[in-house]
Amino acid sequence: MLKWWQETVFYEIYMPSFKDGNGDGIGDFKGLLAKVPYLAELGVGGVWLTPFYPSPKVDNGYDVSDYYAVDPDYGTMADLEAFVAEAHRYGIRVIADMVVNHVSTEHAWFKEARRSRDDAKRDWFVWKDVPNNWESFFGGSAWEWDAVTEQYYYHSFAKEQVDLNWANPDVEREIWKVFDFWLDKGLDGFRLDVINNLTLTRDFLDNPVVDGEQQHLYDKDQSGMTAKMAEIGERIRARGDYFTVGEISSDNLTEIERYAGPGGLDVTFNFNFGSVANRDGIVAEFARMQQVYADGRMPTLFFGSHDMSRSWNRLADEREDVAQLLAMLMLTAHGVPFVYFGEEIGMVDFVPESMNEMRDVQGFYAYELALEDGKSECEALAIAQGKTRDKARSLMTWPEGFSDKAQAWIGEVTPDFARGQRMFAFYKTLISLRKTIDFCKPGYRDFEVDGELLTYVRGEYLVCLNFGAAREMENKWGNVTLVLANKDLVVNVDKIELPAFGAVIFKM
């Protein structure tokens, strides 16, 4: 028996950018509610919502100031409940982003902790008289001076995102309550933010620096992490049929896969595959990944998220055929697919043209550091444009527009509605195929990598994905019927002529 999430295509929704329901230019639960039929038509069975908790939004909600409420920008708790109920009515599960590595400096716990050195909450965070060399993942020192209590506090991301001290059991107890609260609300599981970054130990060894670049060796995957991950997974599973997906801050397959499976979280995000800079080597990495997970566990399959440039630009060279080739791989392979909102209509990257248009904290950090480094404003802008995650965060280009008002929180990209319709239809067909046949079950037959050509059989279906130039392949399967292809091709009894970037599913 497969678990529900093993048969589910997930869809990531970046809260402020999906759909505005009250016309203030920010996506919200009312907007989401109105778009449940859209999600159902696409056919996804689960959505992952980025953080919707109250937050000063230095990092757009990844800086939580209250774990038990909904940010007014997104609506009320009742709006959330109405959305979840509607999604459930359509058979769509909802998972929430849980950010438990750090809180906002505006969180009551931290405000208390910074009152004095012997405050009861002081040890909920990490304080030092003398900082070590750890750098924040956004750049610059990971330590910030607190003038009142005259110590440094640790923040692995922005200085407004202060790390919780998981070495203190009180912190952990409080976080279990948070998990319980949201599961009681009817959510179906969690996406756990940078979960291998938890501060579990009290040793703070300097990270090694190689060629001027800090290696994040001691500030993540600390000793005890594997056991802690297993415990988190276990606790959530023990409560019922819930799903957990971990964000492991690494693009190394070995580090990513070790936390996935029965002794960890259900699955972990495969950045080794999904967040690569370009298509080179993607087929080989895919094959390697499938081997690693051949033990029955599942990898995740995705080509986009709110933290990286859109796959349309990064991986598809802005070509519809390549975008469809990628979609076919993601939706026919063994794994848990995550579609990033807008990908199903071929949305393009948004590039802020000035610092005024920039919204992402990572872009701001890059800009400031470049200026400190002696770069000109123009050079610094170019560096920030490279780093900014705004690229994937611009507004969903609905035919009716995103919002009633023009004052959206971030800029828009120019839509191509005709392309959007073709892409949507392609995704929809793939997702419905994935449901009706054996695409969810583990394993392949006739799995073969021949240069840039990938072929495999899943259930009764043969999938051929050509990541290279036009070529012929031997037809070992005889009489096959075409089910879906991204372009015309010629099929003979003994050979199949595949165009460049051809992607095709046959029924055998």
- Applying CB under 6 A, among 99, 164, 289, 333 the residue interacting with ligand GLC is 99
Is residue 507 within 8 A of residue 475, CB to CB? The reply is no
SS3 for 43-70, per residue? CCCEEEECCCCCCCCCCCCCCCCCCCCC
On the CB side of 121, how many CA atoms lie within 13 Å of its CA?
A: 11
Catalytic residue among 63, 86, 188, 193: 193
Q: Which amino acid is at 463?
A: V
Nearest to 257 by CA among 271, 278, 238: 271
State the residue number with the nearest CB to ligand GLC: 62
Q: Are 99 and 161 in contact (CB under 8 A)?
A: no
193 is known as an active-site residue: yes
Which among 28-36, 212-220, 322-330, 360-368 is the span making contact with Ca ion, rule CB under 5 A?
A: 28-36
Q: Which of ligand GLC, Ca ion, none does residue 92 bind to, with CB < 5 to 8 Å depending on kind?
A: none
20 interacts with Ca ion by CB under 5 A: yes
Smallest gap from Cβ 24 to Ca ion, in A, equals 4
Check binding of 194 to ligand GLC (CB under 6 A): yes
Structural contact between residues 466 and 498, judged by C-beta atoms closer than 8 angstroms:
yes
Q: Which residues contact residue 496 at a Cβ distance below 8 angstroms, ignoring those fewer than 6 apart?
A: 464, 472, 473, 474, 475, 489, 490
Token reading at 39: 């999600």
Residue nearest to Ca ion (CB): 28
Select the residue interacting with Ca ion from 28, 97, 188, 221 (CB under 5 A): 28
> Residues binding ligand GLC: what is the number (CB under 6 A)?
9
Q: Tokens 């594997």 map to which residue?
A: 226
Q: Which residue in the set 143, 153, 154, 157 belongs to the binding site for ligand GLC (CB under 6 A)?
A: 157
Catalytic residue among 20, 247, 320, 343: 247
Please select the residue that binds Ca ion; options are 6, 22, 133, 201, rule is CB under 5 A: 22
Work out how close the CB of 20 gets to Ca ion at its nearest, in angstroms, rounded to a whole number.
4
Q: Of Ca ion, ligand GLC, none, which one sits near residue 307, judging by CB under 5 to 8 A according to partner kind?
A: ligand GLC
In the stretch 236-275, what mask flags binding to ligand GLC with x, by CB under 6 A?
A: -----------x----------------------------
Find the binder of ligand GLC among 5, 11, 62, 467 (CB under 6 A).
62
How far is residue 154 from each of residues 71, 100, 132, 376, 419, measured CA to CA in Å?
Answer: 25, 14, 10, 30, 46
Q: Which is nearer to Ca ion, 53 or 124 (CB)?
A: 53
Q: Which two tokens stand for residue 90?
A: 């359509």
Q: Catalytic: 247?
A: yes
Candidate list 71, 79, 172, 307; residue touching ligand GLC; CB under 6 A: 307
Tell me the three state secondary structure of residue 317: coil
The Cα–Cα gap between 499 and 468 comes to: 9
CA atoms of 402 and 477, how far apart (whole Å): 47
Say which entry of Ca ion, ligand GLC, none residue 99 contacts (CB below 5 to 8 A, set by partner kind).
Answer: ligand GLC
Instruction: List active site positions.
Output: 193, 247
- Residue ranges binding ligand GLC (CB under 6 A): 59, 62, 99, 157, 193-194, 247, 306-307
Residues that bind Ca ion (CB under 5 A): 20, 22, 24, 26, 28
